[in-house]
């Protein structure tokens, strides 16, 4: 019995030593972030780097082994990165929480951490305005099909410099879905910065067409110029035009030759295209 107690004491001492080393490394990481902040002093915009953060999480998940749960690993690093991003410059989050919805606050906290201010607003259009007017560093809005009829994505078509863009999708680690269970909540992250290419991305594209163009036909036209349409997220009719929100595979810039070809090859059908952002593809649990 005495040997067992001594062995347990030894194991606990080893755990304490590991905790000290982990803490030392967290403090060292914070010091390095401080040096980065000093080097970037005077640079406008939020310090958020969603592409870089996604690459870090993917790398850690890819090298992970053992019994420690992957969701907990991702949560730990999200807390670290969320805490440190606000050390570089002021950081705050605006979240759209529909009256009959729930869970978006949790999505935001799980991703950006518990440290920085979080402003809960009644609708996605409010969040877009908060981000555009620099009253929030980032915004979290429901996916179009769950936004309660709010077509927040229409406001992102503007070419003004302070127009928010989609830069992320939540959650970053998609949970396993048991059979016969509904799809989990997901949301988009908005900021006035541009999305970053990570090697595994999706782009959100607004396509303006003449009236009565079906989603199936629009998919076919996109395929014809080499764009792989994952889904048609929403459509909006505005007088003599329709606006369609498409989600396509890969990182697509506004000057992508395929977008130009999509308009030129279908002049009687497609009037214009506008990239409103993109995001790193989330990981599977």
Distance, C-alpha 47 to centroid of its chain: 15
Q: Terminal CA-to-CA distance of the chain, rounded, Å? A: 41
Report how far residue 268's alpha carbon sits from residue 255's, in angstroms, rounded to the nearest whole number.
21
Report how far residue 249's alpha carbon sits from residue 198's, in angstroms, rounded to the nearest whole number.
12
114 φ, ψ (degrees, to nearest 5): -100, 0
pLDDT at 212: 86
Which of 82-96, 97-111, 130-144, 234-248 comes out lowest in average pLDDT? 97-111
pLDDT at 263: 96
- Write down the mean pLDDT value for the chain: 91
- Does the pLDDT value for residue 149 go beyond 90? no
Distance, C-alpha 208 to centroid of its chain: 24
Local confidence band at 141 (pLDDT 50, 70, 90 cut-offs): very high
All domains of the chain in start order, with CATH: 201-283 (3.30.70.1150)
- Does the pLDDT value for residue 5 go beyond 80? no
Q: What is the pTM of this model?
A: 0.91
pLDDT at 86: 85
Local confidence band at 1 (pLDDT 50, 70, 90 cut-offs): low
Instruction: Give residue-wise pLDDT tens across range 157-181.
Output: 998 889 999 999 999 998 877 777 7
Counting residues of the chain whose pLDDT is more than 90, the rounded percentage is 74
Three-state DSSP at 158 gives: coil
Cβ pair 145, 183 in contact under 8 A: no
Report how far residue 284's alpha carbon sits from residue 184's, in angstroms, rounded to the nearest whole number.
13
pLDDT at 272: 96
- Does the pLDDT value for residue 152 go beyond 90? yes
- Does the pLDDT value for residue 44 go beyond 90? no
Instruction: Give residue-wise pLDDT tens across range 46-68.
Output: 678 999 999 999 999 999 999 99
Local confidence band at 140 (pLDDT 50, 70, 90 cut-offs): very high
Three-state DSSP at 277 gives: strand
Local confidence band at 98 (pLDDT 50, 70, 90 cut-offs): confident
With tokens 């949970």, the residue in question is 175
């Amino acid at each position: 019995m005495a040997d067992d107690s001594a062995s347990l004491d030894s194991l606990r001492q080893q755990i304490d030593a590991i905790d000290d080393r982990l803490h030392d490394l967290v403090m060292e990481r914070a010091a390095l972030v401080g040096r980065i902040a000093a080097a970037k002093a005077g640079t406008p915009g939020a310090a958020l780097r969603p592409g870089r953060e996604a690459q870090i999480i993917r790398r850690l998940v890819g090298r992970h082994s053992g019994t420690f749960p992957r969701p907990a690993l991702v949560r730990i690093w999200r807390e670290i990165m969320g805490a440190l991003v606000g050390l570089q410059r002021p950081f705050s989050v605006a979240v759209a929480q529909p009256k009959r919805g729930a869970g978006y606050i949790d999505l935001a906290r799980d991703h950006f951490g518990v440290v920085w201010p979080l402003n809960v607003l009644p609708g996605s259009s409010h969040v877009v305005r908060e981000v555009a007017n620099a009253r929030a560093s980032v915004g979290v809005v429901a996916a179009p099909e769950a936004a309660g009829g709010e077509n927040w994505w229409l406001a992102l078509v503007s070419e003004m410099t302070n127009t928010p863009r989609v830069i992320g999708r939540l959650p970053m680690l998609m949970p396993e879905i048991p059979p016969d269970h509904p799809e989990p909540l997901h949301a988009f992250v908005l900021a006035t910065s541009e999305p970053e290419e990570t090697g595994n991305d999706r782009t959100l594209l607004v396509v303006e067409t003449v009236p009565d163009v079906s989603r199936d036909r629009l998919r076919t036209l996109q395929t014809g110029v080499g764009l792989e349409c994952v889904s048609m997220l929403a459509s909006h009719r505005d007088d003599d035009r329709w606006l369609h929100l498409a989600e396509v595979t890969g990182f697509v810039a506004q000057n992508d030759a395929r977008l130009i070809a999509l308009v030129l090859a279908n002049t009687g059908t497609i009037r214009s295209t506008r990239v409103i952002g993109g995001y790193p593809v989330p990981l599977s649990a």
